Amino acid sequence: MGSGKSKKMVKSMQYKMLSLICFVLIIVFWCIASYGHLVQEVFLPSPTAVISKLLSMAKDGSLWANCRESIARVMIGWIWSVIVALPMGMLMANSKRFSAFVQPIIEFARYLPVVALVPLTLLYLGIEETQKYTIIFLGTFFQLVLMVADTVSNVDANMINAAKTLGAKRFQIYKEVIFPAALPGLIDDFRLTIGWAWTYLVVAEMVAASNGLGFMILRSQRYLATDTIFAGLIMIGLIGLVTDWIFRIISRIAAPWQERLGDSR
């Protein structure tokens, strides 16, 4: 047992070191390109300029205000998506009739570009926050509901049949068998789609927004303020990394029995 734990710790340290090396290499190339004047500053600001801009925005409070607004928009739009997609996807996986009824329209809608829906959402919902939540919802829901359906479909049918044999009712089967068995995969689905939610943030803040990281990036584009653009991108990336880390912890706590292929190597 002790040797097994020590091997896992060593592998964990190796994984962290490799991840750190990747980030260091990117920063090194960035420094070489910017400080070495291989790329003009208007196209690639130096790390010093970007850090200076981040510190400046942090001091005047604009950075935190924009982060707060963007996080709220992403989380609310994404949570709407989860609330609707989770039961709908589970039902699609367990009811051929329901799947036949809704899947064609979902397959159709998921190919629609969300950018093209911005004018309609503005027409129907105006310029208030609901419109921005809806854009993020539309960008994640149709993909998530199919991912949930696929994850739940992969639950071992023998477990469901055993529960039926023991007299479990439909709700009990969902609660005691299907949901726990599908939980690790569902958490992965959530982790992926919240990343997509961040990619749709700029679309959500493209029109009629006065704050947020996406708005900050788009406004900076007009004035070729690439240091501000890089600062906004770095903040979105850092928030994404923290979010991904939180989901990994949730996965380990909620589904400790799950063993990934990489964990055994």
Q: What is the pLDDT of residues 82-140, one digit of tens each?
A: 999 999 998 998 888 999 999 999 999 989 888 888 889 988 988 888 999 999 999 99
Higher model confidence: residue 1 or residue 191? 191
Shared domain for 7 and 57, answered yes or no, is no
Reference 81, options 188, 174, 189, 180; nearest CA is: 189
CATH number for the domain harbouring residue 87 = 1.10.3720.10
Same-domain pairing of 100 and 140: yes
Instruction: Report the pLDDT averaged over residues 141-170.
Output: 87
Helices in 36-113 by DSSP H: which ranges? 47-60, 62-94, 96-109
What are the residues whose beta carbons fall under 8 Å from the beta carbon of 176, sequence distance 6 or more? 163, 168
CA dist 89 to 84, 193, 223, Å?
Answer: 9, 14, 44
Tokens found for residue 242: 């923290």
DSSP element (H, E) containing 247? helix 226-254
- As a whole number of angstroms, the distance between CA 49 and CA 45 comes to 6
pLDDT score recorded for residue 264: 46
- Same domain, yes or no: 197 and 99: yes
257 band by pLDDT with thresholds 50, 70 and 90: low
Are 57 and 160 found together in one domain? yes
Helices 96-109 and 62-94 meet at what angle, rounded to 10? Answer: 140
Take residue 240 and report the two structure tokens written for it. Answer: 């994404």
Residues 53-89 have pLDDT tens digits of 999 999 999 999 999 999 999 999 999 999 999 999 9
Residue 161 and residue 30 share a domain: no
Which residue range is the domain that position 30 belongs to?
1-39
Closest to 16 measured CA to CA, from 5, 28, 8: 8
Same domain, 19 and 126: no
Q: What's the whole-number mean pLDDT along residues 132-161?
A: 91
Q: Could you tell me if 98 and 91 are in contact, meaning their C-beta atoms sit under 8 angstroms apart?
A: yes
175 versus 234: the higher-pLDDT residue is 234
At 168-219, the pLDDT tens digits run 887 888 888 888 888 888 999 999 999 899 888 888 887 777 889 988 998 8
Domain count, the chain: 2
Residue bearing tokens 């990994």: 248
Q: Tell me what the mean pLDDT of segment 147-161 comes to.
A: 88
User: Is the predicted pLDDT of residue 254 greater than 50, yes or no?
Assistant: yes
Asked if 184 and 258 count as a contact pair (C-beta separation under 8 A), the reply is yes
Q: What is the pLDDT of residues 12-33, one digit of tens each?
A: 677 778 778 888 899 999 999 9
CA quadruple 246, 248, 251, 253: dihedral positive or negative? negative
